[in-house]
Amino acid sequence: METHVRLLLIGDIVGKPGRQIVLRAVPGLRIQEGLDFVVANAENAAGGSGLTPDIYHELISCGIDCLTMGDHVYRRREIYGVLETEARIVRPANYPDEAPGRRYTVLRARNQVRVAVFNLLGRVFMPPVDCFLRAADRVLAELPDDVHVILLDFHAEATSDKQLMGRHLDGRVSAVLGTHTHVPTADEQILPGGTAFQCDVGMAGPHESILGRRIERVMETTRTFRPTHFEVATAECRIHGTLVEVDPTTGRATAVRRMVVSQAEAERLSELARKKD
Ligand SMILES: [Fe+2]
Ligand SMILES: [Fe+2]
């Protein structure tokens, strides 16, 4: 049996700049960090909002094992088919049962350990969804008993929702990591029951921006109330993500670490992967 599984969650990938840095860095990151399983939030991957089938396949083929989504999951309707048929993507589990897509998935990590992934939405500044605590309980009740490594991407605005979820699932899942705010929080920790926790892992995309969008566009709309197109910014791309090491026999986290990959670091990682080929 493997002694540990190394997981990475990459925060919301924003538009083309976000995709480009992720595509360049992930193969090298897998080597450098000895990653067994990589998850990324893709709700902003297509032009800053939603996901398309082509982008789904592009992200999966670069070495991402599973994509999670969020409040922008259905922004591109062409993704419905992928959500219904592909195993490597989940939609928020507290959406109605009739909503397209799966509520959780169970996949094999590179070292053959089975990993469950699910995604939930918070309820502050979010569309009205079912109680996230009850929805989490429902997913856990449906998971096979022999799956111990479980990752939740909790897509929520409020740190209070996120802390509640961490405490609710402490000792029952391997990691509760947050997305949606696009800003990483400095509270990564292992809770007393063995669950790795962080309110938000951040985003992959242009840092010189307002949450990935062009500063002047957001400023203009905020000042004048005149709607503008919130174009994706381009400058200074970074990947924010969080690494978790899990004991696969117990499902408990043994380490958690925040990670930032700069543009220069991404180039070095791409070189590393090229040499290894
Ligand atoms: Fe987002
Ligand atoms: Fe979001």
Q: How many angstroms is it from 33 CA to the middle of ligand 2?
A: 27
Distance CA 242, CA 246 (A): 13
Give the tens place of pLDDT for each residue, 197-225. 999 999 999 999 999 999 999 999 999 99
Query: What is the reported pLDDT for 3?
Result: 83
pTM: predicted TM-score of the whole model, two decimal places? 0.97
User: CB neighbours of 192 closer than 8 A, spacing ≥ 6?
Assistant: 170, 171
How does residue 276 score in pLDDT terms, banded at 50, 70 and 90? confident
How far is it, in rounded angstroms, from Cα 129 to Cα 116? 22
Q: Which ligand is nearest to the CA of 201?
A: 1
Cα(259) to ligand 2 centroid in Å equals: 20
61-114 pLDDT, tens digit per residue, is: 999 999 999 999 999 999 999 999 999 999 999 999 999 999 999 999 999 999
91 CB-near residues (< 8 Å, 6+ apart): 69, 73, 83, 99, 100, 101, 102, 103, 119
Q: Write down the mean pLDDT value for the chain.
A: 97
Nearest to 154 by CA among 120, 185, 188: 120
Task: Give the distance (Å) from ligand 1 centre to CA of residue 3.
Answer: 34
Banded pLDDT at 1 (limits 50, 70, 90): low
Show the CA angle centred on residue 266, arms to residues 257 and 246, nearest 5°: 25
Q: Which ligand gives the minimal distance to the CA of 70?
A: 2
For residues 193-214, one letter each, b for 16 or more C-beta atoms within 10 angstroms of the residue's C-beta and e for the rest, the string is: ebbbbbbbbbbbbbbebebbbb
Active site residues: 72
- What proportion of the chain, given as a percentage, has pLDDT over 70? 99
**φ/ψ of residue 82, rounded to 5:** -65, -45
